[in-house]
């Protein structure tokens, strides 16, 4: 019966894009340090020199129409007489690529633009994708002048920046389809950099293609500059995302393949913890490491991790402790599972998914006193879920079998029957899908289901709780259900310290 619908594995958050300016700065500093190494000449012929000057002035800002005027002058200078550039094709491509990057920023909502609008002197009525054209020019420069790769990378990064910021905002707003469209544009100018691979990995993750996501995050982490250290959020996001997606991918495997996948995930978690030991996500990585080792069959290593968690429970959230207890349970390690569940409840005894799993752990461990206490609390928190009353009945059954006193046995059996009857009386079942614990305005979502043959309508009243189980705020949602109908619901809490929830019984 054990399940864990929340807090299984955390996504590689899109907010890690705050690392982008840092990475760009590092690359720009490197470009400056290696400026003398780039052999491209930008002062010959005069058209290349004047075009670069126009682009530089346009980059200083000013009115959009003034910037476009200077960019148009630069494009015209570079396209009027191609024969002039045959002795410096790399310089021409290098500068025109920069102009096109800036043109793309002038038309952020357009994929293609008429060539005449950009200043081309040939084929003015034809359309051109500035980013695709810039990529072609930069790729030519990289092939002919590999010593200029760092410089070219900085211009690709410049083109990606507005797209990356937009994509990040859309991903954080759960607008996956719109974000994917923006990321498709980002891939046009750069398909191989860590930042590009990060966003491609996010698309794969949103599509639940965890194997592809794991590969993209891993490639992105491997492509990070050597200078990126413990202050790089992008590197951290890539490394943690690679570990998480590798573990999720391995879960669908069997036998030796699954073992190998889980061991690979464990290595990736260890790398993240070594590179970012003080990260706010370190406890999540530690939990993921334990889950990977447990699934791989490395009982000795995972046992040590559980011991470390029990020795320093203050370093972990209640959800992480509940998760570790669940992992120990699935590994048939009931001793550590009970201790981890006890530690989790000591931090937050009102978290419904964790409490449900704790009750199951106590059941399998034969600890019916703890199971009874957990099951009673579950029926208070989640009164319209038949599963909770069934757990309560099993707890009374266990208590009944543990005594020989006929009066006590009778009392427990009466309570058992009452619990089963309560389960049968539920007409509207409430289940939960997700709870955004830790956010300023946590969203609780789930479904209401009419189990009866008659229409049902009413109000679901949810009370959001703090660490001590005290009410913080309430939220309500009305429902109307046809016989056997199921509908989703979502309510939002507002207030400090919300870590759990309960709701009023629905008749």
pLDDT at 505: 97
Burial 197-222 (b: 16+ CB within 10 A, else e): bbbbbbbbbbeebbbbbbbbbbbbbe
> Residues 179, 245: one domain?
yes
Quick: pLDDT tens for 187-235: 999 999 999 999 999 999 989 999 999 999 999 999 998 888 777 889 9
> Residues 166, 284: one domain?
yes
Q: Final residue of a domain: which of 401, 426, 451?
A: 426
> Residues 225, 81: one domain?
no
Total of domains in the chain: 5
Residue 176 structural domain: 10-37+154-291
pLDDT at 140: 97
Question: Is residue 263 included in any domain, yes or no?
Answer: yes
Quick: pLDDT tens for 263-313: 999 999 999 999 998 888 887 888 889 889 988 988 888 888 889 899 999
> Residues 401, 497: one domain?
no
Question: Is residue 3 included in any domain, yes or no?
Answer: no
Q: Final residue of a domain: which of 246, 266, 291?
A: 291
pLDDT at 284: 82
Rg (CA), the chain: 30
pLDDT at 144: 96
> Residues 398, 250: one domain?
no
CATH number, domain of 21, equals 1.25.40.10
- What percent of the chain is modeled with pLDDT above 70? 93
Residues whose CB is less than 8 angstroms from the CB of residue 324 and which lie 6 or more positions away in sequence, other chains included: 287, 290, 306, 309, 316, 340
> Residues 124, 256: one domain?
no
- Is the pLDDT at 32 greater than 70, yes or no? no
Count other Cβ atoms within 10 Å, centred on residue 434.
15
The mean pLDDT of 370-388, rounded to a whole number, is: 96
* Among the listed residues 12, 104, 115, 99, the one whose alpha carbon sits nearest the alpha carbon of residue 56: 99
Q: How confident is the model at residue 81 (pLDDT cuts 50, 70, 90)?
A: confident
> Residues 20, 165: one domain?
yes
Distance CA 151, CA 143 (A): 13
Question: Is residue 115 included in any domain, yes or no?
Answer: yes
CATH number, domain of 467, equals 2.60.40.3230
Q: Final residue of a domain: which of 267, 291, 315?
A: 291
> Residues 110, 192: one domain?
no
Question: Is residue 360 included in any domain, yes or no?
Answer: no
Is the pTM higher than 0.75? The answer reads no
Burial of 254 (0-12, 13-18, 19+ CB in 10 A): exposed
The mean pLDDT of 326-336, rounded to a whole number, is: 88
Question: Is residue 196 included in any domain, yes or no?
Answer: yes
Q: How many residues are given for the chain?
A: 507
> Residues 310, 457: one domain?
no
Question: Is residue 358 included in any domain, yes or no?
Answer: no
Q: What are phi and psi of 366, to 5 degrees?
A: 75, 20
Question: Is residue 485 included in any domain, yes or no?
Answer: yes
Question: Is residue 4 included in any domain, yes or no?
Answer: no
> Residues 118, 233: one domain?
no
Contacts of 457-463 spanning 24+ positions with Cβ under 8 A: 457/481, 458/428, 458/506, 458/507, 460/430, 460/489, 460/491, 460/503, 460/504, 460/506, 461/503, 461/504, 462/491, 462/493, 462/501, 462/502, 462/503, 463/501, 463/502, 463/503, 463/504
> Residues 308, 224: one domain?
no
- Choice between 225 and 139, residue whose per-residue pLDDT is larger: 139
Distance CA 284, CA 237 (A): 12
> Residues 285, 396: one domain?
no
């Amino acid at each position: 019966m054990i399940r864990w619908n929340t807090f299984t594995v955390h996504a590689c958050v899109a907010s890690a894009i705050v690392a982008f300016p840092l990475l760009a700065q590092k690359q720009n500093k490197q470009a400056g340090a290696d400026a003398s190494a780039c052999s491209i000449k930008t002062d010959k012929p005069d058209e290349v020199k004047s075009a670069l000057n126009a682009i530089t002035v346009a980059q200083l800002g000013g009115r959009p129409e003034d910037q476009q005027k200077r960019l148009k002058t630069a494009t015209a200078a570079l396209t009027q007489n191609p024969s002039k550039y045959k002795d410096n094709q790399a310089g021409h491509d290098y500068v025109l690529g920069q102009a096109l990057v800036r043109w793309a920023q002038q038309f952020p909502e357009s994929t293609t633009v008429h060539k005449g609008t950009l200043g081309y002197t040939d084929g003015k009525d034809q359309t051109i994708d500035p980013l695709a054209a810039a990529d072609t020019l930069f790729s030519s420069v990289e092939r002919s002048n590999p010593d200029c790769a760092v410089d070219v990378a900085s211009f690709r990064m410049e083109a990606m920046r507005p797209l990356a910021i937009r994509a990040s905002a859309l991903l954080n707003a759960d607008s996956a389809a719109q974000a994917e469209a923006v990321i498709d544009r980002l891939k046009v100018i750069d398909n191989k950099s860590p930042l590009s691979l990060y966003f491609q990995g996010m698309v794969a993750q949103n599509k639940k293609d965890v194997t592809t996501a794991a590969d993209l995050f891993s490639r992105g982490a491997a492509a990070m500059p050597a200078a990126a250290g413990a202050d790089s959020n992008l590197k951290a996001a890539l490394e943690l995302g690679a570990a998480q997606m590798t573990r999720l991918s391995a879960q669908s495997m069997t036998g030796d393949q699954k073992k190998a996948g889980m061991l690979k995930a464990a290595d990736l978690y260890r790398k993240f913890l070594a590179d970012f030991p003080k990260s706010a996500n370190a406890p999540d990585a530690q939990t993921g490491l334990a889950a990977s080792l447990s699934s791989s069959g490395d009982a000795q290593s995972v046992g040590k991790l559980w011991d470390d968690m029990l020795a320093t429970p203050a370093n972990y959230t209640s959800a992480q402790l509940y998760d570790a207890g669940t992992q120990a349970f699935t590994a048939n390690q009931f001793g550590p599972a009970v201790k981890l569940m006890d530690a989790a409840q000591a931090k937050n005894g009102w978290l419904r998914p964790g409490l449900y799993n704790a009750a199951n752990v106590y059941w399998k461990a034969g600890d019916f006193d703890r199971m009874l206490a957990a099951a009673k609390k579950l029926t208070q928190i989640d009164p319209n879920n038949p599963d909770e009353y069934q757990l309560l009945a099993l707890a009374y059954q266990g208590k009944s079998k543990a005594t020989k006193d006929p009066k006590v046995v009778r009392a427990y059996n009466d309570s058992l029957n009452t619990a089963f009857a309560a389960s049968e009386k539920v007409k509207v079942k409430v289940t939960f899908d997700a709870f955004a614990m830790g956010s300023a305005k946590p969203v609780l979502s789930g479904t209401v289901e009419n189990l009866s043959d008659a229409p049902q309508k009413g109000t679901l009243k949810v009370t959001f709780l703090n660490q001590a189980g005290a009410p913080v705020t309430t939220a309500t949602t009305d429902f109307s259900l046809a016989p056997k109908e199921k509908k989703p619901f979502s309510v939002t809490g507002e207030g400090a310290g919300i870590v759990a929830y309960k709701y009023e019984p629905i008749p």
